[in-house]
Amino acid sequence: MEALQRREAFRLGVRLEVVTVVWMLAEAGLAIGAGLVARSLLLTAFGFDSVIELVSGVTLLWRLSSEARGSSVERAEWVERRATWISAVLLVLLCLYVVFVGLAGLATRLQPEGSLLGAGVAGAAVLVMPILAWQKRRANVTIRSSALRADIAETITCAYMAAATLAGVALNLLAGWWWAEYVAVFVLLVFLAAETIEAVGAALGHDSHHGGH
């Protein structure tokens, strides 16, 4: 009975990660595209973070599906270690990008244009991400995966970041408060910094754990 529950939980986990990968692919493309057209640092930063979460989702999808098929756990852990380091480096670069470009944009008073598409993408993420996180948590009650637990935290962070992005873009779009996007960028930076510290810690932890073997 327990083995059957685990198989069902793994199947659910795989389905949810497929949804995550497809969603992040679309979210990244639309947010970055809308950000470039509107000259919006907020939207491009949100889109680039989606790329990082896409890397995480692909890795976890590979792990869950391979474990479900009974493949080598050592191989899965090796892939996860590499992906963890890639995510950590990308997050550090994203934080630096947000700080420098954000300060430069304020200094030069670069005014992003309002973006209906950007508001729509962020609004959809605000609705979908909490549901996705809840479903993943249900699956992880049985799977008990630390990697999936981290992925759930990333999904919740994405919801908070989407809310900050939606607020900034909506205020610019509706009230013409272009500076609201820069305020939202630095709110976004708070979430990014926390995510970055966690990712770097996880990458270092993976390496020290591997060294122990």
H/E stretch holding 141 reads helix 116-143
Q: What angle do CA 17, 66, 84 make, to 5 degrees?
A: 60
Own/partner contacts of 121-124, CB < 8 Å, gap of 24 or more, are 121/27, 121/30, 121/31, 121/34, 121/43, 121/46, 122/31, 122/43, 122/46, 122/162, 122/163, 122/165, 122/166, 122/169, 123/162, 123/166
The DSSP result for 51-64, as a single string, is: HHHHHHHHHHHHHH
Residue 211 confidence (pLDDT) above 60:
no
The angle that helices 146-175 and 41-68 make with each other, rounded to 10 degrees, is 160
The total of structural domains in the chain comes to: 1
Query: Tokens for 149?
Result: 């637990």
The CATH number that applies at residue 205 is: 1.20.1510
The pLDDT tens digits of the residues spanning 17-72 come to: 999 999 999 999 999 999 999 999 999 999 999 998 898 888 888 878 877 776 66
The count of other CB atoms within 10 Å of the CB of residue 127 is 10
Q: Which pLDDT belongs to residue 161?
A: 92
Q: Integer distance in angstroms from the first to the last C-alpha of the chain?
A: 33
The pTM of this model reads 0.87
Domain around 113: 2-212
Q: Measuring CA to CA, which residue among 100, 93, 89, 112 is closest to residue 173?
A: 112
CA angle 54, 55, 57 (to 5 degrees): 60
Tens-place pLDDT, residues 194-203: 988 988 898 8
